[in-house]
A and B are shown apart, each in its own frame.
Chain A
């Protein structure tokens, strides 16, 4: 925080003094730095982007992207007119926000906690163990969820019943689907999520802590006023990026946990598209839906970034 503040003040005179041209010349190497990345995005992302037009076409692989016939907004209409359109939109949004609300702060808290305890076996163990679930494949993950929540012999269900409560029908009750999905996701990705914040925390200036201790600040106060502000830029950027992914809810795990009874809560845009494609690869339709998602995502990202720029010194641009 301190560093970025001071840099903000430092750049002002620089900007005024030198003309843009001089700056470009002075920093010509930076353009060289960008070059590989630019080339990469150009070749592997911008060049294929002509493929987006199949959202407005009936894509037949053997006719190619440009050769396939135009159909205008047919695919979009089909999606918007779907009986489930609003349900899908709602489920996608609510799962995403639910996930963000729980899954976003937890890695930050965990990282701050890691940072408080002394390096040693315990720290290493907890860090490694919490990181491990990230590597469990979706299939096994879903399998475990179903096993643990099975009404007849699931571990968690038995535990709840042993405590004298009535266990809900986790797997089939629509009211529980989102919680089940989000909490298992939190379990799987919180440890992994700490990594980025741990790296950011390594930038904390020990001198600040020493000074604060002399001032008699408690540990908790120091975490709040030194550690947290240090990683705030990272937090802000992660939040903005996450907002730009709101409509991107993967289909794999949902599909594996979905059943006819929880369908009304579990069907999201990606599972809907997946099912449509099962019958016949429907490239055009899924591209159209993808395009719709992207537009919404971009709008959200731009909005959040704008807010961030207004309220803090950190933003994507």
Chain B
């Protein structure tokens, strides 16, 4: 016991000493000149006297952030120097929690992906600084964005009325999930010139694929639709698209045209979807390996020219070869139950990308800094790097650009990743079509056209707005969902593969209700009503 208490004392003293020292090093000098800094409300530099702040961000490990041309340029322009306390992307979540637990806050979080409940919890505790008042004065670009898109303001405002974080805004990215693509070679071989428009036509087409050997290798190795398994999700890549045929916008939660929020898995529409999928499965049109294969295995089948319909960012990424306009995008089909297919569209905003903590001595300057990223110039800088490195203007007036040759024959994206932090992380910025102007290929234009005619023109809409639940609501949903989502996943697979006959549907719904499915819908409904009323 004696040893023990001594050791405790030793430890306490050691700990105290360390934290005292840390306190001295950080605070002393900076606090002194915090008063004297004036933050200009527009133009650069942001501050007259250089200041130093700390930033925490996820790092993909290609280039040290100090050496990135974009950040160096930004420092020169703004007079704000950042010290980076980055964590590798895959461990960022863990590190973030440790930072909050050890009160070792950075001055700003960048591309942090703060969840709604994190923003709320840490906002309520005063760890994250409310931004809404400062935005009016120190974030002209972002303010303009909010004024133009009131929904963005609604989505980033917490239930307590504060804005704790700035979002990623991507209005030029419409897809909710990767699209489905038809294998163009199969379409041609089977002489199909009009894409299926109904679930029946789709069924017939897939049936022909299976029976008529469209890849011409003499073997019946063709596969209708193929999906993959990842730890968290089966069928995730194709589900949303097929659910749409039965009038459902999203696999879990969506709001219908009458402002009613649904919990999809207990709806009758979900049953129709299951019946259809079961038919595809039974007749061998849905890849039998959909519940076990990896993405790589699916891809190998695609490259073998075996799959008729599949999900990917672009078709050639599964089929191999060069980008090709021969593989058309899936036209959402409709079933006999609905007049038109439900199509989900990307929300275009992801909250929690940028936040300022209470230890930050220059919140206004920090906000001015990030505000630049919501302007065309700033967004361009962070997206493509400074002019003259990766790209140059062809016509600055109408913002047309062209790419410059990449040094040393490097891959252009690899090179870009050494210039800017905005590579593979949810960085606070707004991307508009203007940024890529002149840099797009014919293929890009074709994809945009497909997206426009097949999805947007057919009434694609956001299934459920980005909104805040209260901390209590969130924790209740989390706790309900841990059983619900497992059960749904399991039963969906069983219904589709026939391990559970469709006659078990009523039982299934009863179990869902017992697990609190209705409560999930109720909570989301309440949150939606609040959002709507705002």
A-side interface residues toward B, CB under 8 Å? 38-39, 42-43, 46-47, 58, 60-64, 78, 82-84, 143, 146-147, 150-152, 171-172, 255-256, 258-261, 263-264, 267, 272, 275-276, 278-283
- Among residues of A, the one whose C-beta sits closest to the C-beta of B514 is A83
Indicate with 1 or 0, residue by residue over B308-338, a CB within 8 angstroms of chain A CB atoms: 0000000000000000000000000000000
What separation, in Å, do the CA atoms of A151 and B297 have in the docked complex?
Answer: 11
Indicate with 1 or 0, residue by residue over B422-466, a CB within 8 angstroms of chain A CB atoms: 000000000000000000000000000000000000000000000
B-side interface residues toward A, CB under 8 Å? 3-4, 7-8, 11, 93, 97-98, 100-101, 103, 115, 117-118, 121-122, 125, 127, 229, 231-232, 234-235, 288-289, 291-294, 297, 474-475, 478-479, 481-483, 485-487, 489-490, 492-494, 497, 499, 511, 515
Tell me the smallest distance from the CB of A78 to a CB of chain B, in Å. Answer: 6
Tell me the smallest distance from the CB of B4 to a CB of chain A, in Å. Answer: 7
Tell me the smallest distance from the CB of B484 to a CB of chain A, in Å. Answer: 9
Cross-interface CB contact of B8 among A47, A256, A276, cutoff 8 Å: A47
- A259 surroundings in chain B (CB, below 8 A): 229, 234, 291-292, 493
- B121 surroundings in chain A (CB, below 8 A): 60, 62
Decide: B486 and A261 in contact? CB cutoff 8 A. Answer: no
What separation, in Å, do the CA atoms of A63 and B292 have in the docked complex?
Answer: 43
What separation, in Å, do the CA atoms of A243 and B97 have in the docked complex?
Answer: 33
What separation, in Å, do the CA atoms of A280 and B469 have in the docked complex?
Answer: 13
What separation, in Å, do the CA atoms of A43 and B294 have in the docked complex?
Answer: 44
- B4 surroundings in chain A (CB, below 8 A): 42, 46
Decide: B100 and A150 in contact? CB cutoff 8 A. Answer: no
Cross-interface CB contact of A256 among B115, B231, B297, cutoff 8 Å: B231
- Among residues of B, the one whose C-beta sits closest to the C-beta of A82 is B483
Decide: A83 and B515 in contact? CB cutoff 8 A. Answer: yes
Tell me the smallest distance from the CB of A6 to a CB of chain B, in Å. Answer: 35
Cross-interface CB contact of A263 among B8, B100, B490, cutoff 8 Å: B490
Cross-interface CB contact of B293 among A38, A39, A150, A276, cutoff 8 Å: A150
Given contacts A61-B100, A62-B100, contact A272 B482 (CB under 8 A): yes
Decide: A150 and B489 in contact? CB cutoff 8 A. Answer: no
- Among residues of A, the one whose C-beta sits closest to the C-beta of B7 is A42
Tell me the smallest distance from the CB of B231 to a CB of chain A, in Å. Answer: 5
- B511 surroundings in chain A (CB, below 8 A): 83
Tell me the smallest distance from the CB of A291 to a CB of chain B, in Å. Answer: 18
Given contacts A260-B489, A261-B494, A261-B497, contact A172 B483 (CB under 8 A): no
Given contacts A263-B490, A264-B490, A280-B474, contact A61 B3 (CB under 8 A): no
30 contacts between A and B (CB under 8 A): A38-B3, A42-B4, A43-B11, A46-B4, A47-B11, A61-B100, A62-B101, A62-B127, A84-B486, A146-B292, A146-B294, A146-B297, A147-B297, A150-B297, A151-B288, A151-B292, A258-B231, A259-B493, A260-B490, A260-B492, A260-B493, A263-B486, A272-B482, A275-B232, A276-B478, A276-B482, A278-B232, A279-B481, A280-B117, A280-B118
- A279 surroundings in chain B (CB, below 8 A): 478, 481-482
- Among residues of A, the one whose C-beta sits closest to the C-beta of B127 is A62
Tell me the smallest distance from the CB of A50 to a CB of chain B, in Å. Answer: 11
- B499 surroundings in chain A (CB, below 8 A): 261
- B483 surroundings in chain A (CB, below 8 A): 82-84
Give me the 8 closest cross-chain CB pairs, A-B, nearest first: A260-B493, A61-B100, A171-B292, A61-B101, A260-B234, A276-B482, A255-B231, A83-B483
Q: A280-B118, A283-B97 are in contact. List 6 more A-B contacts (CB 8 A).
A: A42-B4, A62-B121, A261-B497, A263-B489, A279-B481, A280-B474
